[in-house]
Structure 1
Amino acid sequence: MERPVVTVKQGKLQGIFEDNVLGSRYLAFKGIPFAAPPLGDLRFKDPEPPASWEGIRDASKNAGDVSVQLQTLPTLAIIGSEDCLYLNVYIPYNLYRTSRNPIMVWIHGGAYLMGNGNDTAVRPDYLMAKDVILVSINYRVGALGFLNIGHEVASGNQGLKDQVAALKWIKENIEIFGGDPNNITVFGVSAGSSSAHLLTLSPLSKGLFNKVILQSGIATCLWAQVEEAEASAFELASMLGNDSKDPVEVVNFLKTIPAHKIVGQQFQVLISEKSRITKIPFGPTIDEKAKEPFLPCPISQLLDDDSDIPIIVGYTSHEYIMFLNDISEEVLKTKFANLDPFIKVFTKDPEKITQLTEQVKQHYFHNKPITKESIPSIVQWMSDLYFCIPVNNFVNDQRKKKKAPIYLYNFSYVGNEMTSTKLMLNNDLPMIGASHTDDVTYLLYKPKCKVDNPKPPAIGTKDREVLEVLTKMWTNFAKTGNPTPIVDEHVTTIWLPATADSFNYLDIDSTPKLLTITDYNNILGDLELQESHSKY
């Protein structure tokens, strides 16, 4: 069997042809180092360039490891290592030995704490049928990827800078694989999506890509930035045995601690009220103390000078289902009966807190007590709070700027395919709608979700139709900047962008429908909700 060899700037790579579950084949180059392993003294530092190698490097399998992290399924364990800065390139068989092909770069999610871009997590099969080259990347997560101690010895956003390093490598080398370095679309889900949005804002990544697809996460989501980062860094060190307040001493100490111990301890570090609500101890921060800041100033300022590129952005209809792992009445009452902690994230004014709390109780819960009957209301409120409100506000602002087109979607399809939510939840909560990351199930082949049924959705089923529609629109956008340049047997609806005159969005169900938000009410002060858009 032919084993193609390509020559990138660091040396020669030998790939491998793999079978696609949809038929045909694709060419894979796996485990390509895009930066030096961040080991030893390179821990907490910006990524360094990758070393060159002699001879032919075998790129038929994943190299290094996933970023060290806590695994929750199938068993609770700390996995991975710090040697994780590798990417994978996948090329459809019919694009082999062709040139100037569109590139899609996948950034994995996982709350900045877990996840990976290897084919053990996601495979490219579904997109390979749509004539694009896919690149999936890994980056440092958790404290090892985001420690910010307010000093250049550990200034934060190392994981985001890993993403920049990967994009630079892609820009420099992708032409060798038949890709077009001037037609790169970055896309991701959840923390991968908010990372992609942050990349559009950072001065370090300007010009490295041309379009972006943001699935269930943007830079202004409550959980997308971590506050009190310095306090968290010192608290982590203290928990591990060093109470110094000297940042250099603390970072030198943390470099001596085994990575798995840092990962095991990092979940105990939740300093601020916001952190306790979002439960993300380490993530993106303003890193103005860095020699080369990724986020040199507040997001609100960076949004004024973001990359003027085409955007697809959206959410699933019932995002929060994934996070309701315990639906006992006692837990529901304990967690959601008191709304003040959620409201305090936005304001410290006692009068305003009282006012907004009453509005939420009336709008979502109709002033009824929290019981199991409240679950749909809880899902709506928390989905809006964490995902839908910030996305809709972002689109509302962008559409008025008359910049590059922005396409809004609501993924509402509930199918028969296994999803991450179904795998994670061990309760009897019915699937009342599309949960967080459900859309990815129809975009990328997820091996952990396909254990019992490895075949793709059968032709003629609604699941297969949604797969065809979603992959076609996403790859159309990657090719042209327009998800529906024409209609065909699968894409039967023209998806119009949101404009200053019309707040359009596409509801993606078994039959996608173009709808318009007409009642965009100011329900929660600075938080805008659209009553006509709620589908619960």
Structure 2
Amino acid sequence: MTDSTQYSAMERPVITVQQGKLQGIFEDNVLGSRYLAFKGIPFAAPPVGELRFKDPKPPASWEGIRDASKNADVSIQLQTLPFSSIIGSEDCLYLNVYIPHNIYRTTRNPVMVFIHGGAFLVGNGNDINKRPDYLMAKDVILVSINYRLGALGFLNIGHEEVSGNQGLKDQVAALKWIKENIEIFGGDPNNITIFGVSAGGLSSHLLMMSPLSKGLFHKAILQSGMAKCFWAIAENAEDKAFKLASILGNDSKNPSEVIKFLQTIPANNIIKAQYEVFTPQEARIANIPFGPSIDEKSTKPFLPYPLSQLFDNEIDIPVIVGCTSHEYIMFVKDTTQETLDTTYADLEVYVKKFTNLEDSKKIARLTEKVKEHYFHNKPPTKENIPSFIRCLSDIAFSIPVKSYVNDQRKKKRAPIYYYNFSYVGNEMNNTKYILNEMPMIGASHTDDMAYLFYQPIYKANDLEPPAIGTKDRDVLEILTTMWTNFAKTGNPTPAVDEYVTTIWPPATADSFNLLDIGDTLQLLTITDHSIFEDSEDL
């Protein structure tokens, strides 16, 4: 660093980024020591008024010293747990930078950029529910970002004025800001790793494919979400845009008229109405009314071609990719017979979405094979809820991830590390039991997050981190060590230590390696095939 960008010696350090001066704050780490936080940093102009639905614009400069000790607003959304009230604001394009105390005066530190999940409808990158404490013990700089969600972030009306993927372009804008400014914080602009879970993992993968994000990052970690998942790309995006306008009172089919109309509607009304564009079946299966779409009509498209073509243009960087052992536990809403019957009847739709088959006879045959393989052709009952979870976890997550790794390992490109997170511990007590009715059978969707981030929302009974010597603490150390090793060097296990006891080799053309992260670390070699891979109908 030059003298002009040195951190101040006072308790509230001040640094200078391109837009002006920022004053951060030291915070205590639950694992001990401290870290320096700069919060609520604008990386783009507020997307309000005429900028609603538009591509992000550069942030304005400011005079004086901007207080960066508090979180800025999150993207406007329906509050989870339960969906009862609206939180956040359209003015949401802010990011947060966290620097471990022991490296904040040093330079060229590895940078990890966290992209939050939430089905592109909810969630945020602020540290209210996901604090960076665990990663701050591993000598990396962490940046967490916010981006537009729902219809405000993904409306695609098939016109260059509003062509979708605004939220993904927000992520690009954040990455550009990080690339241009992170050196001031002590970060290395040439060693940036993006990572996320669920929609955050998918976002990271789509960033690998987009021509807009080339050169902005150097490694990626895709957790429980990537572009081969059937839910990755929104279907009938233009129809849903017009349907949203109709629900809100405008039946025009003229894109320009609809855009102008929707720019006059209170954001709260749009957030409430966006859930109504789905049929009941679409709501059960797709769950993402407004998400990523092919935006070839944009003047600056994020996804200019179909995914099949974009896979071929994916940037060649080291990747960690995987999922949890029983992803679908999170999505079990209830265990009534009516719900079980409905889900069983929906299997044919899941199969169609997963395979992209159009031949109804082939879809029917494959659906019968699914019912035989997972349910032994028995009617759905509470006793075979684990079969539902295994089946839908495979279709929505596990098989697409495995297929992607299988494709990539044969190309002899940059290393790809494949994992399965199967550990069931005490940190994620929100999904430890399915509706408190049956014991946990494996790791649910997002359970791995509890060992990367300190999440006080899930620790109502004991706010302390896992104690040293417990299995939960072992897994915390294993996951944060491997993830940050990868960010530092591109290799999650350059050496073994007291926690990481196994070298994790990448999947290669010669060896389809998988690391199972459970009670112990187990290196496996994949040899089995799914019923979809073995089916003559595909």
Report TM bin, short chain.
over 0.9
Aligned sequence identity (%): 72
Is the alpha carbon distance of 1:16 and 1:526 closer, same or farther for their aligned partners in structure 2, counting shifts above 3 Å? farther
- Partner Cα distance (1:525, 1:150) in 2: 38
Q: How far did 1:522 drift?
A: 5.1
**1:147-183 CA distance string (max 9 Å, x none):** 0000011110000000000000000000000000000
Q: How far did 1:313 drift?
A: 0.2
- Partner Cα distance (1:375, 1:193) in 2: 27
- Partner Cα distance (1:355, 1:392) in 2: 23
Q: Which residue of 1 aligns with 2:116?
A: 108
Q: Provide the secondary structure at the position in 2 that maps to 1:344.
A: helix
Matches for 1:192-207 after TM superposition, within 5 Å: 192-207=200-215
Q: Is 1:454 matched with 2:495?
A: no
Q: Which residue of 2 aligns with 1:497?
A: 506
Q: Which moved more, 1:228-237 or 1:66-75?
A: 66-75
Matches for 1:332-481 after TM superposition, within 5 Å: 332-345=340-353, 346-422=356-432, 426-481=435-490
Q: Provide the secondary structure at the position in 1 that maps to 2:485.
A: helix
- Partner Cα distance (2:322, 2:291) in 1: 22
Q: Provide the secondary structure at the position in 1 that maps to 2:291.
A: coil
Question: Which of 143, 148, 154 is residue 146 of structure 1 equivalent to?
Answer: 154
Q: Give the conservation status (yes or no) of the 8 Å contact 1:337–1:369.
A: no
TM-score, normalising length: structure 1: 0.96
Q: Which residue of 2 aligns with 1:512?
A: 521
**1:250-300 CA distance string (max 9 Å, x none):** 010000000010000000112697665212110000000101000000011
Is the alpha carbon distance of 1:307 and 1:71 closer, same or farther for their aligned partners in structure 2, counting shifts above 3 Å? same
Q: Give the conservation status (yes or no) of the 8 Å contact 2:366–2:535.
A: no
Q: Which residue of 1 aligns with 2:81?
A: 73
Q: Which residue of 2 aligns with 1:304?
A: 312
Q: How far did 1:305 drift?
A: 1.1
- Partner Cα distance (1:184, 1:419) in 2: 32
Q: How far did 1:462 drift?
A: 0.2
Q: Is 1:26 matched with 2:35?
A: yes
Question: Which of 13, 16, 28 is residue 22 of structure 2 equivalent to?
Answer: 13
Q: Which residue of 2 aligns with 1:208?
A: 216
Question: Which of 245, 255, 278 is residue 247 of structure 1 equivalent to?
Answer: 255
Q: Is 1:222 matched with 2:230?
A: yes
Q: Give the conservation status (yes or no) of the 8 Å contact 1:99–1:178.
A: yes
Q: How far did 1:499 drift?
A: 0.4
Is the alpha carbon distance of 1:361 and 1:461 closer, same or farther for their aligned partners in structure 2, counting shifts above 3 Å? same
Q: Give the conservation status (yes or no) of the 8 Å contact 2:432–2:439.
A: no
Letter in 2 for 1:58: D
- Partner Cα distance (2:366, 2:282) in 1: 17
Q: Which moved more, 1:440-449 or 1:515-524?
A: 515-524
TM-score, normalising length: structure 2: 0.95
Matches for 1:154-173 after TM superposition, within 5 Å: 154-173=162-181
Letter in 2 for 1:515: L
Structure 1, unmatched stretches of 5+, are: 530-536
Q: Give the conservation status (yes or no) of the 8 Å contact 1:359–1:524.
A: no
Q: Which residue of 2 aligns with 1:60?
A: 69
Q: Is 1:322 matched with 2:330?
A: yes
Q: Give the conservation status (yes or no) of the 8 Å contact 1:393–1:528.
A: no
- Partner Cα distance (1:121, 1:206) in 2: 31
Is the alpha carbon distance of 1:338 and 1:238 closer, same or farther for their aligned partners in structure 2, counting shifts above 3 Å? closer
Is the alpha carbon distance of 1:275 and 1:525 closer, same or farther for their aligned partners in structure 2, counting shifts above 3 Å? farther
- Partner Cα distance (1:390, 1:527) in 2: 18
- Partner Cα distance (1:401, 1:165) in 2: 31
- Partner Cα distance (1:267, 1:432) in 2: 31
- Structure 1 residue ranges (4+ consecutive) displaced by more than 4 angstroms after TM superposition: 271-276, 524-529
- Partner Cα distance (1:431, 1:390) in 2: 24
- Partner Cα distance (2:403, 2:536) in 1: 8
Q: Which moved more, 1:435-444 or 1:276-285?
A: 276-285
Q: Provide the secondary structure at the position in 2 that maps to 1:401.
A: coil
Q: Give the conservation status (yes or no) of the 8 Å contact 1:319–1:436.
A: yes
Q: Which residue of 1 aligns with 2:4?
A: none
Q: CA RMSD in A?
A: 1.7
Q: Give the conservation status (yes or no) of the 8 Å contact 1:227–1:275.
A: no
Structure 2, unmatched stretches of 5+, are: 1-9
Q: Provide the secondary structure at the position in 2 that maps to 1:466.
A: helix
- Partner Cα distance (2:65, 2:537) in 1: 56
Q: Which residue of 2 aligns with 1:268?
A: 276
Q: How far did 1:358 drift?
A: 1.4
Is the alpha carbon distance of 1:521 and 1:231 closer, same or farther for their aligned partners in structure 2, counting shifts above 3 Å? closer
Q: Which moved more, 1:184-193 or 1:276-285?
A: 276-285
Q: Provide the secondary structure at the position in 2 that maps to 1:26.
A: strand
Q: Provide the secondary structure at the position in 1 that maps to 2:410.
A: helix
Q: How far did 1:510 drift?
A: 2.2
Is the alpha carbon distance of 1:3 and 1:271 closer, same or farther for their aligned partners in structure 2, counting shifts above 3 Å? same
- Partner Cα distance (1:116, 1:445) in 2: 15
Q: Which moved more, 1:23-32 or 1:337-346?
A: 337-346
- Partner Cα distance (1:12, 1:523) in 2: 56
Q: Give the conservation status (yes or no) of the 8 Å contact 1:152–1:290.
A: yes
Q: How far did 1:348 drift?
A: 2.5
Q: How far did 1:341 drift?
A: 2.0
Letter in 2 for 1:301: Q
Matches for 1:89-104 after TM superposition, within 5 Å: 89-104=97-112
Q: Give the conservation status (yes or no) of the 8 Å contact 2:14–2:22.
A: yes
Letter in 2 for 1:6: I
Q: Which residue of 1 aligns with 2:5?
A: none
Q: How far did 1:201 drift?
A: 0.2
